[in-house]
Chains A and B, each alone.
Chain A
């Protein structure tokens, strides 16, 4: 049985609140947790496959050009070396999220420093790695622009223009006009990109570390010129993605080609340096924010003009201004996004593309405006929450922003007062607090999942959906458990295999609502099948603890199934409900930061996040997603930046020693509030995205706290000691 829903209307039946099991939302432990804490969950490179060869990618140490010749013989004679491949089907880049087609080929046309151009395969990893370092390659080199600030830009999307912002600025009682920059970020998932490919002469099977398998399968098949039905991908465990594994990447394509050529399984794992140099970066940005307000603090103008970059012929524009479209009021609006074309590795999705760098700048500007007006920054935000989309006029499906600001403030102990910096000093440290709003657009995509009730009364969910740490295994077992009257532990969730129905994949915080809805639909169908067996109305039947109960009787599911398995496939598609409504998750951040008077070192001492993202499917895993996002806020605000060489354009800090992701000591105990709501426009399970929300704006709260602490407004992220000091010296 297959049930299909294209969601054109709001579903406020809130079915999951009416079923009887009571497991939805509960903070159950992750079903796969024991495997993870005991080191027995296998990640891509860890499948034990006999006779497996080891491949190491060779990367080009040039900015731009073409491979002229490769002296294969020079390394083929080295011990253990089996092959040198530089096939035209190899890809120099990873595919963008949901590209659904091969990424740029051939790999031998080099467009950025560090692009993979060849693969050396040997019997052992050490042999392959050594040979890869010694492969002589001749290039025809070309010049190319590398400085995003030095090239002309072109619009990356149609600007939003309404009214006259310049005039609003002129007539404003209070205004802010500020330019803020952010630097490139890396996803830096802890598991490096890895693949093991096996070819049996007609079909290909690849263990890989990927987020969106149905797309990845098409991308891989298209790269290789194979029929999709001949390709199987397996990613049951993924050691973090954050966007970096949305599209098929170079190692998976290269391993597949090698396995097909050599007739033996081949494993290719990127080195950490290669991951930094060849996998998606988040673009650096330059953002001008203009805010105009009347004497009461009502916004009359709102401008957000952003510059981003990408490689020539890469479409992806970091949607920096995405939530500026709808977060705050202001009838005169100008929102623009302009693209510079430069030769750095592909710019693509890194956790919360757009909002992850676009909200914090607006939130800094709002802080400055509140100061000018002389009101509490929370009050300024509350005054400027529009009743409807400020340009398109559609309603907000649900918006807990005001409640998040208020309840978050209370939990944090926010002192409502006009802000005046340098109010508290402890020894060498200035202490300050800051607030920011959070916003992240909600999206859903097509997804399928198969759910069955087994003769023994247990449930099974199958989808090629992935769990990249987000909690998919947990929440799908809860949705199915809730619908079918089973404890989650009695629902086996099988993921990460393209032999299962295609789910949404994990990306853009879409996974839970999209694939979760597919599971929900399948379960609704199973409920109907059971009701039919009982000859009762589905609505009058309660499924609980393995029993079906109805007016006048009850029956164990095992008895009802009578040795049979019943199955349904749910097929969810987004429809008008997310078009007719503005659907977004919202929240608020509060941070307390200490800034060292002497050195400009800034440390986050406390941080609270309050979030509304529809139905909370599992309070434990949802909270963890928020914690993760807030941890990223700290890196975003204080430590993370990709440093590119100004001469040849290569990425200088291409490792985890010099690209500074936050360590334990950078992160205090973080406090998370989750404000339950139901959003029937978001999905039939009333859930919205949560995986990225925790990162959207929080760096602004930290920046505002730095100002409140020491009186220095820093306009460059990350706010490293040198930048804070420079700003302090301007005070």
Chain B
């Protein structure tokens, strides 16, 4: 049993209680993914599993064998930051930085979801193609709390990253 994290294979833990989050922060040494609540209530632990964003605190690592996980470290590094990371930096889309990796992973997946045409609670026409509006971004990012209150800047950063992508 193994899991692929940012392209590298990693053994799964013996103790089935270990969450994907604790595996990442512990054995895998990838502390970029944060633990804010451990109960699916804040989004700090958001990672991409097979391209889909999930709360890694509510996922048992053993259930993910064979899966591909991308964490914040997989999206870029200080010497080669990714597009979303650079946009957050440019727009001051963070303060303390603790919710930030979760926001960035979430935002990265979110742009793909909009492209794929998934609707959200803010989508007026359920059958149409959703657009990247402020309200759409805010609804779709609502699973990522930021207590520092960087929301306004986060939305600006995401808009910029979306533009670069387009």
Contacts and interface: CB of A to CB of B under 8 A. Distances in A.
B29 interface: yes
A124 to B, nearest CB: 7
A239 B34 contact: yes
B141 A655 contact: no
Given A240-B96, A620-B92, A656-B36, A667 B81 contact: no
Contacts of A247: none
Contact of B89 (A33, A124, A655, A669): A33
Contact of B96 (A35, A239, A661): A239
A82 B88 CA distance: 43
A191 B30 CA distance: 16
Contacts of B137: 664
Interface stretch (B70-78, B111-119, B123-131): B70-78
Chain B contact residues (Cβ within 8 angstroms of A): what range?
35 or more
Question: Among A46, A629, A630, which residue has the most Cβ atoms of chain B within 10 A?
Answer: A46
Nearest to B73: A39
Interface residues of A, number: 62
Given A39-B101, A48-B29, A664-B154, A238 B76 contact: no
A266 interface: no
B76 A38 contact: yes
Contact of A191 (B26, B36, B154): B36
A239 B25 contact: no
A69 B29 CA distance: 39
A669 B150 CA distance: 10
B15 A37 contact: no
Contacts of A381: none
A624 B150 contact: yes
B17 to A, nearest CB: 4
Interface string A44-88: 011010000000000000000000000000000000000000000
Given A34-B89, A664-B155, A191 B98 contact: yes
B88 A40 contact: no
A678 B94 CA distance: 28
A191 B151 CA distance: 17
Contacts of B88: 37
Interface string A205-245: 00000000000000000000000000000000111111000
A39 B34 CA distance: 9
Nearest to A474: B92
Contacts of A241: 96
B73 A41 contact: no
Contacts of B154: 664
A549 B104 CA distance: 45
A112 interface: no
Interface of chain B, main secondary structure: loop
Given A469-B97, A470-B95, A628-B149, A34 B78 contact: yes
Interface in B38-79: 38-42, 44, 71-73, 75-78
B95 A630 contact: no
A240 B71 contact: no
A126 interface: yes
Contacts of A468: 96
Interface string A648-674: 000000011100011111011110000
A39 B15 contact: no
A665 B78 CA distance: 30
Contact of A36 (B41, B44, B71, B97): B97
B146 interface: yes
A142 interface: no
A444 B99 CA distance: 30
A470 B124 CA distance: 38
A469 B44 CA distance: 16
A123 to B, nearest CB: 11
A222 B94 CA distance: 35
Nearest to A272: B37
Given A34-B78, A191-B98, A669 B155 contact: yes
A632 B153 CA distance: 15
A192 B85 contact: no
Contact of A664 (B41, B89, B92, B142): B142
Nearest to B15: A126
A628 B148 contact: yes
Given A34-B89, A38-B76, A190-B34, A667 B149 contact: yes
A36 B145 CA distance: 16
Given A29-B90, A30-B92, A37-B89, A624 B153 contact: yes
A630 B149 contact: yes
Nearest to A656: B41
B147 A661 contact: yes
A125 B92 CA distance: 34
Contacts of B22: 125-126
Contacts of A663: 142-143, 145
A621 B25 CA distance: 29
A225 to B, nearest CB: 32
16 contacts: A29-B89, A29-B90, A36-B94, A36-B97, A37-B81, A38-B72, A39-B73, A126-B17, A190-B44, A190-B146, A239-B34, A272-B38, A621-B92, A625-B95, A655-B41, A656-B42
Given A35-B78, A43-B98, A663-B143, 13 more contacts: A34-B78, A37-B89, A40-B32, A40-B77, A126-B18, A190-B99, A240-B95, A627-B150, A627-B153, A632-B149, A655-B41, A656-B41, A662-B151
Interface of A: 29-30, 32-43, 45-46, 48, 124-126, 187-192, 237-242, 269, 271-272, 468-471, 620-621, 623-625, 627-632, 655-657, 661-665, 667-670
Interface of B: 15, 17-18, 22, 25-26, 29-42, 44, 71-73, 75-78, 81, 85-86, 88-90, 92-101, 104, 122, 134-135, 137-139, 141-155
